[in-house]
Structure 1
Amino acid sequence: MERIEHRACFGGWQDVYRHRSEVLGCDMTVGVYFPPQAAHGPCPVLYWLSGLTCNEQNFITKAGAQRYAAEHGIILVAPDTSPRGDEVADADGYDLGKGAGFYLNATQDPWAKHYRMYDYIVDELPAWVESDPSASDVRAISGHSMGGHGALVIALRNPGRYRSVSAFSPIVAPSQVPWGEKAFSAYLGEDREAWKQYDATELVRHAPEKLPLLIDQGDGDEFLDKQLRPQLLQAAAAAAGHPLQLRMRPGYDHSYYFIASFIGEHLAHHARALRG
């Protein structure tokens, strides 16, 4: 592990690390915020998954989450959104390839060699983070847009692993929207049955754990009707009796101005669950 940034922040430390990922076959960077409480004993961990085009910097520099993490004593872990490096496959456009890992394990060439973000987030990254004596194995997960998709899917597929889950502007039904159809066709192939394992709207129908889902969505989001369509997850959750709180926020768009406006409420939501 190589620490490449170390900055005092709200009584704690905002660090960035570079490490070799055996799962992804490349070097990865990850932001880790240690609240002041981490100096005195293990703290619970919130994993944040960012969206298309992002890396570890977007959340740690724009969301303002460290203030609330310091208040509640929560470690924040914000990894990059895809494998990186000259050997990693890429594509033209922002919605496939580097910066667009979609938090799945690719099965199709040339993507399968490196694009295994699901295993990285679920297994490899927590094994590293939680080996630090300041981190406990009590976890929550959240994210934005593509990362909101990842957070919902990972929580739904891993009952008992996370105390809470939330999302901002998530891609809730990737099998039914252009972003997801493009990515899934490339990474997973044309068999739509294989897509269901990474689609929150499909997973919620038979989820073995009724972990409550918290979603904030701006009604001024430019991607709302074409790419996000939260009503699809809302209908599936209602049919399955799965608890879902969908909060439509008047006037807000898809940006980090929206995330920064409500990240405090999400941290408080996770803090309550992490203390339970």
Structure 2
Amino acid sequence: METKPTEISSSKMFGGYNKRYKHFSPTLGCSMTFHIYFPPSASPSSQKFPVLYWLSGLTCTDENFIAKSGAQRAASSEGVALIVPDTSPRGLNVEGEADSWDFGVGAGFYLNATQEKWKNWRMYDYIAKELPELLKENFPQLDTTRASISGHSMGGHGALTIYLKNLDKYKSVSAFAPIVNPTNCPWGQKAFSNYLGGTKADWEEYDATCLVSKFHDISATILIDQGEDDKFLEDQLLPKKFGEACEKVNAPLLLRFQPGYDHSYFFIATFIDDHISHHAQALKL
């Protein structure tokens, strides 16, 4: 079982390269794929690239963001590498893993499951521990000590919670239409009860609205874009709850409601340059 990443595809874009890799993940117990967008390098001896992790939403793989966001244009000009992992373990054939689109395969919720049946669902450890180590060991052109994190929907939830639990590891965070209060919405309650069991205190460890009140040393502004015409806004995403929690502890938050935009990659593609620039600024400080 090859834990070292093997390149499986490469496409030039904006002077850099989208490269897809496959490797065996000891954390998840299965083979995983991920993409890296390498910006163009001025010379082999030039400075290493800082990294921006992108966490995708429900039903996505590592391909959606690479194909649909157009983030590579800004990443190329800013000199930031994009790291785009998959959203859950795959190929384990756990009973019921593909019964619904919002749980199981394609729906890892970036947590470490504690229930025996879902013991391989350890996306938190995969993103926060295994992947950075893998990149550090295998890609000398990346500077993994300068890292930021972003994501969409379930991935926005992942980006915010991983950031808040690891303030020393990431320079900045942003999210598009994140599930910020999963303990209080149907998607989160379904996932958390199955992955984590019935103890609500365990759920709160993966809820950005609960977590933000525990930390008082958040210095970088949290950037969130939310479409006003997003059909999930009122019952699943609950950005105002997160806004209130940030206000209580004076956490710096820029929460932008964008009129007319929905939950799709058309919305992400519209504002992604702002997010890349937000992270590039923090990564180059």
- Smaller-chain TM-score bracket: over 0.9
Quote the offset at 1:157 in angstroms: 0.4
Task: Give the corresponding residue for 2:155.
Answer: 147
CA distance in 1, matches of 2:21, 2:86: 11
Query: Which residue number in structure 2 is paired with residue 253 of structure 1?
Result: 262
Q: In structure 1, what is the Cα distance between the partners aligned to 2:237 and 2:14?
A: 34
Contact 2:216 2:251 in 1 (8 A): no
Measure how far apart 1:159 and its partner are. 1.7
| CA distance in 1 between partners of 2:20 and 2:263 (Å) | 25
Query: Mapping of 1:31-70 within 5 angstroms?
Result: 31-37=35-41, 39=44, 40-70=46-76
Q: Any idea what the Cα deviations from partners look like across 1:188-229, whole Å, max 9, x if unmatched?
A: 001001011100000000114314211000000010001001
RMSD over equivalenced CA pairs, Å: 1.1
Correspondence for 1:199: 207
Partner of 1:223: 232
- Kindly report structure 1 stretches of 4+ aligned residues shifted beyond 6 Å: none
Match of 1:99 in 2: 106
Alignment length (residue pairs): 275
Q: TM-score, normalised by structure 1?
A: 0.97
Alpha-carbon distance in structure 2 between the residues aligned to 1:220 and 1:93: 25
Give the deviation of 1:230 after TM superposition.
Answer: 0.2
* Residue segments in structure 2 that go unaligned for 5+ positions in a row: none
Q: Which residue of 2 aligns with 1:17?
A: 21
Pairing 1:236–2:245 present = yes
**1:157 equivalent in structure 2:** 165
Unaligned runs of 5+ in 1: none
CA offset digits 1:8-56 (Å, max 9, x no partner): 1111110000000000000000010000137433110000000000000
Whole-Å separation in 2 of the counterparts to 1:185 and 1:30: 28
Give the whole-Å Cα distance in 2 for the aligned partners of 1:155 and 1:86. 28
Bigger shift: 33-42 or 210-219?
A: 33-42
Shift of the alpha carbon at 1:244? 0.7
| 8 Å Cα contact 1:49/1:147 also seen in 2 | yes
Q: TM-score, normalised by structure 2?
A: 0.94
1:92 deviates by 1.2
- Which residue in 1 is equivalent to 2:89? 83
Is the Cα contact below 8 Å between 2:216 and 2:249 reproduced in 1? no
Confirm whether residue 109 of structure 1 aligns to residue 113 of structure 2. Answer: no
State the 1:240 CA deviation.
1.1
2:195 corresponds to: 187
Give the aligned partner of residue 169 of structure 1: 177
**CA distance in 1: counterparts of 2:141 and 2:58, whole angstroms:** 30
Identity %: 54
Q: Which residue identity does 1:150 align to in structure 2?
A: G
How far 1:119 moved relative to its partner?
0.2
**SS class of match (1:4):** strand
Between 73-82 and 124-133, the greater mean CA deviation after superposition: 124-133
| Separation (CA, whole Å) in 2 of partners of 1:69 and 1:127 | 22
